[in-house]
Amino acid sequence: MRITLLVDNQTLVDQYFLAEPAFSAWIESGDTKLMFDTGYSDVFLENARRLRLEISELDTLVLSHGHSDHTWGLPALAEHLRLNRRRPDRVRLIAHPEAFYEKGLDGEVYGVNFNIEDYKDVFDVVLTKTAVSLGGGLMYLGEIPRKNEFEGKLAIGQTRRGQSWEKDYILDDTGLSYLGKDGLVIISGCSHSGIVNIVEHAMTLNETRKVIDVVGGLHLQKPTTEQLEGTMRFFESLDLKQLHASHCTDLASKCRLMQTLPLTEIGSGSVLEYC
């Protein structure tokens, strides 16, 4: 299985790709070609071009949740597919049912800025809270149970449910897992539901506690001491072989993680491979 980071907050020295405060990954495993999130704009398209990736051939698009930095590139992807896709089938789009809800606060929109109905000619939309096997050992994790007390408890803005606006706990936040011969890899977009909750749910679904890597946003942005130390203790218990924290993981948190964990820097254009 190979993960190519199409979009991240940063690029690396001598890696000439574009960056934006967003997330998108291209994942290939066996015959499965998958895109996880679309970033904030069309930046992913230019990076894919530089990487010589044929993203018009993708099988499935998965959205980690409905925030702008993970979904606003979708219209650009849809147009690219309309112009370049040679396959007769539509791309399967999998997301939580609340991913396309309106999200915002005080007039600022940070949920989707498009109507997904406008892209039904391109995407076969599957909205589900339950886990879905994606092929090649990959799994969409569905809605994440929030079991621990130190993460996934805070609301961010509001979301519209029916005619009313309510506090948004981002229940649509989810992730992916890959089960290979060496163990489990977890891929997270932003971890609003809590990275520990996500990893524990993935271990339960895959019936293994052998986790070799966690990749993506950990939502450690000015975390409380309880959250950061709780995350540290959990990761230390896993005996990780690698840790690739990106996107919504701040510098102070990365420095703390590096003290006892095998954290490796990544950015737009990074490629990770697993057996």
- The residues spanned by each domain of the chain are 2-273
pLDDT in tens, 236-275: 999 899 999 999 999 999 999 999 999 999 999 999 999 9
- pLDDT at res. 224: 96
Cα(233)–Cα(255) distance, integer angstroms: 15
2-273 has which CATH code?
3.60.15.10
**For the stretch 59-83, what's the b/e string if a residue is b when 16 or more beta carbons lie within 10 angstroms of its beta carbon?**
bbbbbbbbbbbbbbbbbbbbebbee
pLDDT of the residue at 272: 98
- Residue segments in the chain with a per-residue pLDDT below the cut of 70: none
Q: What percent of the chain has pLDDT over 70?
A: 100
- The pLDDT assigned to 29 comes to 98
pLDDT score for 92? 98
Amino acid 107: pLDDT: 82
